[in-house]
A and B are shown apart, each in its own frame.
Chain A
């Protein structure tokens, strides 16, 4: 079974600043994928970024980057130049040999003007 831990229930960030969301995972599988999703108050789960366990380079997607530290089983999300529209719940998830996504509890990000 896979497990995701997100230790930050909520965070505040000033507009235009960067924020790092923590994610640690636990799996016995050697091959797995790590995902980050954003869920605004509307409820839709928006895909942000993906990192494969064998990818040596950290994934980047626009203002999103993933700080992948395999030995520490860590996959932190960095959002650069925060915008007011970034205010949402953010979920880290892992998908391994059982193919299902296992999610963390989420981190609420509030961007202040």
Chain B
């Protein structure tokens, strides 16, 4: 069974640009969540989707947005990139809508903003 797939693996952008990251969950998983990891702030929750609905959102500016498609694949978009957006973005999926459900992560997308 394939794991969580994130594309691309690496991205280099310049300030002011926008970027879209993709996440394909494990087959059958309906919940997808996104996390940002930086050396200074650690791992921070961005948002979570279940059945195409955003259920929860972290404390990030409106430049960060996401969506989930009917096949559970999810995309995350960051507009007007800033240097501080440089981070590893991790996507996780779980089977059901439950806080006790195990979350499985992808390898992440390393975003560098120059």
Q: How large is the interface on A (under 10, 10 to 19, 20 to 34, 35 or more residues)?
A: 20 to 34
Contact B105–A97 (Cβ < 8 Å) = no
Tell whether, in the assembled complex, residue A44 and residue B103 are in contact, meaning their CB atoms are under 8 Å apart.
no
Question: Which residues of chain B come closer than 8 Å to A97, judged between CB atoms?
Answer: 99
- Expressed in whole angstroms, the Cα–Cα distance for A103 and B36 within the complex equals 11
In the complex, identify which listed stretch (B14-22, B42-50, B62-70) lies at the interface while the others stay far away: B42-50
In the complex the two chains form, is B43's CB within 8 Å of A47's CB? Answer: no
- CB under 8 Å from chain B, chain A span 46-64: 46-47, 50, 52
- On chain B, the residues within 8 Å of A42 by CB distance are 107
A91: chain B residues at CB < 8 Å are: 43
Q: How far is the CA of A96 from the CA of B56 in the complex (A)?
A: 12
Q: Point out which of B55, B104, B105 has the most chain A C-beta atoms below 10 A from its C-beta.
A: B105
B56 contacts A103, C-beta separation under 8 Å:
no
Which A66-97 residues have a C-beta within 8 angstroms of B? 91, 93, 95-97
Q: Which of B68-107 contact A (CB under 8 A)?
A: 88, 90, 92, 99-107
> Which one of A31, A44, A52, A100 lies within 8 Å of B33 (CB-CB)?
A100
A23-55 CB contact bits vs B (8 Å, 1 = yes)? 000000001110101000011111100101000
User: With the chains together, A101 CA to B33 CA distance in Å?
Assistant: 9
> Would you call B102 and A50 a contact (CB within 8 A)?
yes
A50 and B99 CA atoms in complex are apart in Å by 11
Chain A, 97-112, contact with B by CB distance < 8 Å: what is the 0/1 string? 1111111111000000
Chain B residues at the A interface, C-beta cutoff of 8 Å: 33, 35, 42-43, 45, 48, 55-56, 58, 88, 90, 92, 99-108, 110
Chain A residues with CB under 8 Å of chain B are: 31-33, 35, 37, 42-47, 50, 52, 91, 93, 95-106
Known: A99-B99, A104-B42; 17 extra A-B contacts, CB below 8 A, are: A31-B99, A32-B99, A35-B103, A43-B88, A43-B107, A43-B110, A44-B107, A44-B108, A45-B105, A47-B103, A47-B104, A50-B100, A91-B43, A100-B33, A101-B35, A101-B45, A101-B92
